[in-house]
Amino acid sequence: MSYTILIPARLASTRLPNKPLADIGGVPMVVRVAQRVLCSHGPSGAARVVVAADHPAIMDACRAHGIESVLTRVDHPSGSDRLAEACAALRLTDSAIVVNVQGDEPLIDPLLPKAVADLLIRRPEVSMSTAAHAISDVADFLNPNVVKVVLDATQRALYFSRAPIAWWRDGTVNGVVALPSPAPLRHVGIYGYRVGFLRQFPLLAPAPIEITEALEQLRALWHGYQIAVHVTEHAPGHGVDTPQDLHRVRALIAAASKP
């Protein structure tokens, strides 16, 4: 069973204007993301890789590099709404599987979308899938910008939080925090969906825990939907949210391209 990779791309960005079109090694960032995951294209991987754009300039950049794209509305309140519109434009059936890859992750592990999609293929009882990896740094564990996830015995998400979970009761000595064992898990922002659920998701009432934590995936758990989690050995590559992030990623890619 194949799947479709969707890459939402919104031109407006508070911290980094025109972020999808930011140049990285001569290629717009959103195009570089699409090229990165295209290696999973084929009989055992993605059937299509499509950018869900909100502006013709993004579509023009994709077209210039041979990347498929669809135009979606500018005023979507969330990324899931944009994905749902893209699914309708692509005429995907309710049983189809899509993987949402963020358009600001030019260093994403190209094998990760397939791992996330495979969870949905193997586990018909879940509506969503995502990924996580072990935290090895106490600073990341305590950082509210690093989202944590706790799993049950079958690798389904019990809860996502900006707080340090699971908290080790006896792990603080003289104000110094130690990491619990097994290691806590950092959530990686990639999602697999069954299209039928994705169409329903924007219609669900926002959950109190979602509003408190500012984490949209908690809406699914609050309404009783199951999320399977792939635990990867690899930490995610640097994403791009700020000009400083862009500078770092440009340097990393330039260094990697040197002979």
Average pLDDT, the chain: 92
According to the model, what pLDDT value does residue 76 have? 82
Instruction: Assess if residue 250 is contained within a domain.
Output: no
- 186, two tokens: 């950092």
Instruction: Assess if residue 15 is contained within a domain.
Output: yes
Instruction: Assess if residue 80 is contained within a domain.
Output: yes
Q: Provide the pairing of β-strand 3-9 with 227-231.
A: unpaired
Instruction: Assess if residue 230 is contained within a domain.
Output: yes
Q: 135-192 pLDDT, tens per residue?
A: 999 999 999 999 999 999 999 999 999 999 999 999 998 888 999 999 999 999 999 9
* Residue pointed to by tokens 């210039």: 64
CATH number at residue 63: 3.90.550.10
pLDDT higher than 70, residue 43: no
Q: Cβ atoms within 10 A of the Cβ of 236, count?
A: 20
Instruction: Assess if residue 30 is contained within a domain.
Output: yes
Q: Using omega within 30 degrees of 0 as the cis cutoff, is the peptide bond preceding 115 cis?
A: no
Instruction: Assess if residue 244 is contained within a domain.
Output: no
Instruction: Assess if residue 135 is contained within a domain.
Output: yes
**Domain extent at residue 45:** 3-235
Instruction: Assess if residue 131 is contained within a domain.
Output: yes
The domain total for the chain is: 1
Cα Rg, the chain, nearest whole Å: 18
Alpha-carbon distance of 254 to 241, in angstroms, equals: 19
Q: 87-141 pLDDT, tens per residue?
A: 999 999 999 999 999 999 999 999 999 999 999 999 999 999 999 999 999 999 9
pTM of the model: 0.92
- The closest of 81, 83, 84, 93 to 206, measured between CA atoms, is 81
Query: At 20, is the pLDDT very low, low, confident or very high (cuts 50, 70, 90)?
Result: very high
**What are the backbone dihedrals phi and psi of residue 88, each rounded to the nearest 5 degrees, phi first?**
-65, -40
Q: Using omega within 30 degrees of 0 as the cis cutoff, is the peptide bond preceding 182 cis?
A: yes
